[in-house]
Each structure stands twice: as structure tokens, then as C-alpha cells.
Amino acid sequence: MKRLLSLAAALLTVFAVSAADEPKIGMAGGPYLQAVGETEFTVVWATDADAVAWVEIAPDDGTHFYSCSRPKYYQTHLGIRNVGKLHAVRVTGLEPATTYRYRILYQGVAGVEKKNRLRYTSPRGSDVFRHRPYSVTTLDRNKDTVRFAMANDMHEHDTELRALFKDARTAGYDFVCFNGDMTSSIPDRQHIFRHYMSSASELFATDTPLYVARGNHELRGNCAAEFPEYFPAPEGVPYYSFRQGPVFFIVLDGGEDKPDDDIEYSGLAQYDAYRTEEAEWLKRTVESDDCRTAPIKIAICHVPPSLKGWHGSVEISQKFVPLLNGAGIDLMLSGHIHRYRLQPAGTEGRTFPVLCNPNRCRLDATVTADGIDIRITDVEGKTLHTYKTGK
């Protein structure tokens, strides 16, 4: 009996020592929803140390998350699970117009044992025992009405962002759009979380889909090239399309606003060629059945087109606008100029109007097959501008 007690005490001592020695790992940002489609969605979050991560999902059927083993989805590349601090887990094979519950999990890499085998910390993740699991609803092309909100040109003004979206979780938005220049540059990997994505995650983005258009300022800074890792899109590039209800949305990347050889870009810019490649994608996109059959078509581009503007705006006018004209676009939503501006259809050869949302304001849109209704408010909730089409 004494030997058994001694053995138990020794095991408890070993366990206590190993638990104390286990490296600490926690959340550094997120989670938030990306690339929500009709049959898939992606969850992005960051940990403060290298880890492997996964997502578990459950139907929204009233059962407890722990009632059975739930399907697991991992972040992999060519058959190998990703080890790192930024995690983007894609969940596929879902049903359209369906609500799912989900939780995130991760294990830190504690070290490497002999034969190069990794040693992990204990699993951690979102608590579905004491708290409601996160949820996401896949896109529904049969909805009659789409409601969304948009902000742009926040430039590190996180306090104002929090004021604009303080009620976003209960507002009933189908999604939120950040239309560029949420920061002035991306100098380090935590800058995106520090200045807007930690707030977005807390306020709405765990459960409300977030679609992001890259602005010209997000092309600047030491970590600018890593922007697509934080906002993964279905085709791996920062321009994409999606259908919700009667609306086909085209999210464009306008690139930088000055010529490629400008001294500000240190000889690294190649945006003219990039926009040419994007135009080839846009040509295929506007010819798709999803675009052709949608009653309403809305383009989103941070930099507005202008034949008399800076180089980037001219390029957008020359390379994108003719294709959008042919597609019957109903409206383009832009930012960039830090003030409200509505250019009606027929301006500079465009067959669609371009609405520029002011900086540090929220645009709320309600869209049906009959038209578009927009209201723009400031941080105090005061209505600044309205715009309406259709009946």
C-alpha cells in the first residue's frame, strides 16, 4: 500500500512539474469570419505562439455542442497541417442558407522530440460549455432582402470604429464590408488586430460575415504583402465575387493611386500589370450566370474610377469600367476621397453611379430586387446622406 501511495505521489509530482513547465499559449486576435459562401466559410484568428489549429462545427439543432463528436476541419497545405501564429481554417461541404455553430481550437508547439516529432501543449479554444458557440449562416440567393453595412478610411481610428459598430451584432446585417484604408499602412503583423480587427471580432465578426476590399494604404508597410493571409478570398487573390439574395457583389482591388514608378513605392510597384490581370478575371466574372441572372449588381472598389483623377483612378476607368458597363452594374461603392460624393450614371462614360462613402462614417444599405436604399451616419448616429434607387 505504501508503495502504491509513493508511486501515486511521484506521478502527481511529475504531472505538476510538466504542467508548470508547459509553455503558455493564448489568443492574439480574432476569431472572425471570412469568405462566407453558400457552401463554405473560413475562420481566421491568431495565437501568441506557434500552434496547430482546427474548427469544429455543429448544426443549429438545439443539441449541446458536447452531445457527440463534431466534424473537425484543419488548415493544411498540400497535405500538411499548418504550424504558425496566424490560422485560417476553411470549412466546406455545407448547405446553403443554413446556420451552423462552430468553435475554434488550437494546440501550441511545446518543442521537438527525437525523430523530429512535435510535442504539443494542452488543447485550448472557445468555450462552448459556459458560453454560446459562435454561429454562421451560409449565403442564401433566394432571400428577398439584403442588409449590409460598410465603413472605409478609418486610418487607425479604432474608437470611432467601435462607436459606428457598437450595435452591429444585433442589427441584423447579412454582412459587413470594410472598403479599404482601415489603417494607413501595415508595419507589423499585429497592426491589423491592434487597430481594427480585434474590435471587429468583439463587436460582430465572429458571427456576421466580413468582406474586405483592399485599399491603397493597405499596400504600404513592411507587412503589406501579408494582407491576403488575414483576409483569405476563395481564389487566393484580394478580388472576388459573391451572391446574396437578389444581389451579385463584385469586390475589386484598385491597387495604388499613383504611377508605379513613383518614389513612394521604392521601385516595388507593379500595379498596372496587376490591374490588367484583374481585368481578365473581371471579364470572366461578369459573363458568369451568377452575374447575368442577378436582379441587382453592386461593385465595391476602394479607389473610385475617374478619367481626370490620379493614375490609379484612370486605370480603373480604363480597365474595369467598360466591363462593368457591359454587365449592367447598378452601383459602385467607393471611398478613398474622405468625403461624400455621388457621381450619377453617365459621368465620364459610366452607365452606373459611383457613391463615395465619407471616412469614419457607416453606410447602411437595404437592397431588394426593386432597388437600393442607403443611409450614411456619423459616429453619433446622425444621418448625413441618403440615396435611393428604384420604386
In Å, how far are 31, 75, 122 from 89, measured between CA atoms? Answer: 11, 5, 20
User: Dihedral of the CA atoms 319, 297, 232, 224 (nearest 10)?
Assistant: 40
Q: pLDDT value at position 128?
A: 87
Residue 16 has pLDDT above 50, yes or no: no
CA dist 196 and 148 (Å) reads 18
Mean pLDDT of 24-46: 96
What is the distance, to the nearest Å, from the Cα of residue 283 to the centroid of all Cα atoms in its chain? 24
Q: pLDDT value at position 390?
A: 77
Contact in structure between 222 and 117 (CB atoms under 8 Å): no
In angstroms and rounded to an integer, the radius of gyration of the C-alpha atoms of the chain is 23
Residue 162 has pLDDT above 60, yes or no: yes
Closest by alpha carbon to 274, among 255, 258, 259? 255
Unique residue bearing C-alpha cell 478613398 = 336
Mean pLDDT of 182-200: 96
Contact in structure between 54 and 47 (CB atoms under 8 Å): no
In three-state secondary structure terms, 113 is: coil
And the C-alpha cell for 198?
480585434
DSSP state of 116: G
Q: pLDDT value at position 367?
A: 98
Closest by alpha carbon to 357, among 144, 193, 197, 213? 213
- For the chain, the average pLDDT equals 93
Q: pLDDT value at position 129?
A: 83
The pLDDT > 90 percentage for the chain reads 88
User: Dihedral of the CA atoms 7, 10, 12, 16 (nearest 10)?
Assistant: -170
CA dist 219 and 264 (Å) reads 11
pLDDT in tens, 125-158: 998 888 899 999 999 999 999 999 999 999 999 9
Q: pLDDT value at position 12?
A: 46
Domain architecture of the chain: domains with CATH = 27-137 (2.60.40.10), 146-388 (3.60.21.10)
Handedness of CA 64, 68, 69, 73 (dihedral sign): negative
φ, ψ of residue 286 in degrees (nearest 5): -70, -15
DSSP state of 115: G
Closest by alpha carbon to 139, among 241, 37, 249, 247? 37
